[in-house]
Structure 1
């Protein structure tokens, strides 16, 4: 049996190391072919572990926190749990990097330490979000780029379409995934100079199942499997969706609690339906955000992640490693020499 190794920043995130260790042990108990290399304070990690089976601890003395300037922290905090975990991946001692810590720092560590694939101009951050209806998909869609690059060129958006396609095929198991370009209208002539040119490039590639432009109001309808956007727009849309879902759930709860006895009785009858909605919109089950375009999987989970989120993210990383996602799209991009267009 081939053993996969995942380097984990055990000290990154609001609930670290407790939630990270709990999630790792959940994954360790289920996935027998995965070994975990935990980077962080050895005493704190050891105190939380129920068992050291398939767990290696690498002691570090520094932590990159949420307030650190990303690039400076990666360059100066050489003994931080995040940087050491990234170095393990670079040196071939681990197959993937996972952290719940500082997003900017993890992006910097992915680029500066792990390194980008030569044919990729700018790695993008891919997030997975739920859809309300998905008759042909798997109940989710990917948004790429969701925050790695504020500005993108048309050729880079075209490359995100290729990366998103390969992720959907090799991680999600979708055949001929539908690719859409986030825009302010569905018509081909809509958009700014960047999206207009990107539309032409993506449409010209017949290996891509391009459905055209898609508006943000339609993202949750399941029209696309992968949505391409620049990082600024993608991140704004991602946070808008997260905020709207949270606000609607809070408003619903508030309305029920203030509607008197009849409202509460009705809520009791509808409890299974509410539970189903909450489960469907719970992003923790969809794993973390993947930095696509690096030489090995680099995955970021939310800073407030709990053990369940950590578990699902590890499950996602395991699928990526087993599916050889990085080698496959690296080979494809090299063969098609897409960097020459960028």
Structure 2
């Protein structure tokens, strides 16, 4: 039985096409029903595919004359959409030749081209970038927006909550995800007018398949106190980068502590299983696959430096969202929001 067909920007990221193709091979070993369109320099991509005999029958290579670089501005990328591996992968989703697209390339370019080609779902003003972040709980945390929109009004935040909850229901199987708004405090009187208006709208929209649980501060993000965290892109990106920087700081601090003396090296041997668990939990490859929610199609952004494992995890996210119809779920949920809370949130 054939599964989703995924369009892969094989030239995207720091290690294209080797890492994307290796990631596709790992994804196929996990789920043999997957099929792929690989976009990139045909000779280079074919050479990498030849390294993975198990890909036979699962991939089709589509030549792309150019690739988007990390230095390309979104406006430049849009003008080259029809000749680049990234642009052609997105176009395949638009034309229905692929069920989702995955790229490890330039985030700004990917967002710009995806928005132009796929457009936003009716009822969504702006797409948002959502990702899975590690927590102390059973499930990763869905957080959005992580940088696509630096300024958001209350209606945008409510829409993000709807999209994030739909995402959490698919990736974690949670019937009513707990949703909270990122704020400088948990008290109802704290925060911007936009946050207060969004909170009021979410409290009124009780027919949505989510459980709104108020505000949360950034120091509680990893405590599994919510399934979905909603923020404007400016604050969300800062929170994300702070979490990533803290994770690197902790691992570097442990490395320094364990190599400072003979006794500490001996202690490292005793604590090695715990350190390994920490490394696995903080490894970004294990949480790879940010999604542009709110578009008429599925586009997944991988870390630029992702390994084959990271690419495979991003592919898994894309396949799951395509199979379970994330776009139609968002459309269905938007219909459940009474008009008055959105309008009052946007115009209060």
Q: Could you tell me how far 1:34 is from its partner in structure 2?
A: 1.1
Relative to structure 1, the CA distance from residue 38 to residue 337 in structure 2 (aligned partners, 3 Å threshold; closer, same or farther) is: farther
Match of 2:185 in 1: 185
* Distance in 2 separating the partners of 1:169 and 1:327: 13
Q: Could you tell me how far 1:282 is from its partner in structure 2?
A: 1.9
Is the CA contact 1:181–1:227 (under 8 Å) kept in the aligned structure 2? yes
Q: RMSD of the alignment, in Å?
A: 1.6
* Distance in 2 separating the partners of 1:230 and 1:332: 21
Q: Could you tell me how far 1:210 is from its partner in structure 2?
A: 1.1
| Structure 2 residue 94 is the aligned partner of structure 1 residue 90 | yes
Relative to structure 1, the CA distance from residue 151 to residue 296 in structure 2 (aligned partners, 3 Å threshold; closer, same or farther) is: same
* Distance in 2 separating the partners of 1:128 and 1:7: 21
Q: How many residues align?
A: 337
| Structure 2 residue 20 is the aligned partner of structure 1 residue 16 | no
Match of 2:315 in 1: 314
Is the CA contact 1:287–1:314 (under 8 Å) kept in the aligned structure 2? no
Q: Could you tell me how far 1:143 is from its partner in structure 2?
A: 0.8
Matches within 5 A, 1:192-341: 192-206=192-206, 207=208, 208-258=210-260, 260-334=261-335, 336=337, 341=343
Q: Which runs of 5+ in 2 are unaligned?
A: none
Q: Deviations over 1:239-291 (max 9, x none)?
A: 11001100110011012111x11110011000001111111222322231000
Match of 1:127 in 2: 131
Give the stretch that moved more between structures: 1-10 or 294-303. Answer: 1-10
Q: Could you tell me how far 1:64 is from its partner in structure 2?
A: 0.8
SS state at 2:57 partner: coil
Is the CA contact 2:11–2:67 (under 8 Å) kept in the aligned structure 1? yes
Relative to structure 1, the CA distance from residue 2 to residue 337 in structure 2 (aligned partners, 3 Å threshold; closer, same or farther) is: farther
Relative to structure 1, the CA distance from residue 229 to residue 287 in structure 2 (aligned partners, 3 Å threshold; closer, same or farther) is: same
Relative to structure 1, the CA distance from residue 292 to residue 336 in structure 2 (aligned partners, 3 Å threshold; closer, same or farther) is: same
Is the CA contact 1:128–1:289 (under 8 Å) kept in the aligned structure 2? yes
* Distance in 2 separating the partners of 1:43 and 1:310: 21
* Distance in 2 separating the partners of 1:338 and 1:77: 37
Is the CA contact 1:38–1:56 (under 8 Å) kept in the aligned structure 2? yes
| Structure 2 residue 33 is the aligned partner of structure 1 residue 38 | no
Matches within 5 A, 1:95-106: 95-106=99-110
Match of 2:79 in 1: 75
